[in-house]
Structure 1
Amino acid sequence: MIRIGLTGGIGSGKSVVAEFFRLCGIPVYDCDREAKRLMVESSEIRNGIIAIFGEGSYQDRQLNRPHIAGIAFQHPELLSKLNGIVHPEVRKDYYQWCDKQNADLVVIESAILFDSGLYLHVDKVVVVTAQEAIRIQRVMQRDHSSESLIKDRMRNQMAESERIQRSDFVINNDNTHPIIPQLTEIIAQCKLLA
């Protein structure tokens, strides 16, 4: 089994590419969605979060995101502790998920593939990229956010150039290069390794 890491900055179209992988019959593990699930279902994560952020971290057995975000983003050391609790559990869940797949190729989708160390657990990395202006426009339409807020979020992410440099494959999602031929070529190359 070849494990492919799929990443990209905000507004790059990473989720669109993940959906194309699914349509090609390739299983995709969505890190963001699964981390949110684990933060509710895993007693280990829940106990760790409560120890750091207090009893107000959960309301009606659901994660109290505003409470945690309000503390974590003002105290980077607590955000680091939160990641130290969540990321190992996501990795464990990802490996359990991989063991259940009957496929030559699997994909793990993560915006923070490099930051979280998940890139160490894949065979190949695919980055989805687009010019900053296109990415900003997409996020403004999707999230109804201001341009300055989006630029702030982009500054907190890994630089696009570094993400590209560290990846094995690049999908240019700039509205002029069709995604499917790029993806088809990547799948073909990865299948040769399987």
Structure 2
Amino acid sequence: MLKIGITGGIGVGKTVVSRMFALLGIPVYDSDARAKWVMRHDEALRQELVAAFGQETFTEAGELNRSYVASIVFNNPERLEQLNGLVHPHVRQDFESWVKAQEGKPYVLKEAALMYESEAWRQMDQIITVYAPLDVRLKRLLQRDTHRTEEDIRAIIAKQLSEEEKMARAAHVVYNDDQRLVIPQVLTLHAQFLSHGNN
């Protein structure tokens, strides 16, 4: 089964593109949502996180204390690397289990913002990068994330791998730039992946 990764920086519209594939009947693994699930439900990982970041990592109700963890890692690259180093291997295992459950599907998609940073690209056969120029991303994010300032958004973007590098490393680019229609691009890729699976 073909495993296709889909990535791109904040505000490019990865999730919109992933949903289009989902509407075509393709299973989509949402790395961000699954990472949250794994952090809550994988007992071994929970113990590793508490050992690394303290009891406050989880609330009394057993939920991940996101604001506490964010306060530790946001401006501390070493601690962020430590967090990712604990979480990403468990998410990779979860993805492999999930893929086995999708038997009979022509291909699957894994949506991940940190496709390269987490080494998740190594599990993929091909990568799609979704691209949008910075001004379009800023406009979208200021409308969507009303709690964030432009400065906040630029700080997040500055910490992510550059779009140029993501595009250079990807087999396919979907342009979600408000200039080109996205659906025809998705349908073209879908047809390619189906024909690849039938060869």
TM-score over 0.5 (shorter chain): yes
Post-superposition shift, 1:69? 1.2
Structure 1 segments (4+ residues) deviating >3 Å: none
**1:9-48 superposed matches below 5 A:** 9-48=9-48
**1:147-162 superposed matches below 5 A:** 147-162=150-165
2:56 equivalent in structure 1: 56
Cα distance in 1 for residues equivalent to 2:121 and 2:75: 27
1:99 equivalent in structure 2: 100
1:163 equivalent in structure 2: 166
1:86 equivalent in structure 2: 87
Match of 2:118 among 110, 116, 119: 116
Post-superposition shift, 1:73? 2.3
Distance 1:152 1:74, change over 3 A: closer
Cα distance in 1 for residues equivalent to 2:115 and 2:178: 24
2:129 equivalent in structure 1: 127
Choose 61-70 or 86-95, whichever is displaced more.
61-70
1:177 equivalent in structure 2: 180
Question: Is the 8 Å Cα contact of residues 52 and 78 (structure 1) preserved in structure 2?
Answer: no
Post-superposition shift, 1:125? 0.4
* Helix, strand or coil at the partner of 1:128: strand
* Helix, strand or coil at the partner of 2:110: strand
Post-superposition shift, 1:192? 2.0
- Consecutive unaligned residues of structure 1, counting only runs of 5 or more, are none
Post-superposition shift, 1:113? 0.4
Cα distance in 1 for residues equivalent to 2:170 and 2:140: 23
1:76 equivalent in structure 2: 77
Post-superposition shift, 1:80? 1.3
**CA deviation vs aligned residue, 1:17-38 (integer Å, no higher than 9, x gap):** 0100100100000000000011
Post-superposition shift, 1:74? 3.9
CA RMSD of aligned residues (A): 0.9
- Consecutive unaligned residues of structure 2, counting only runs of 5 or more, are none
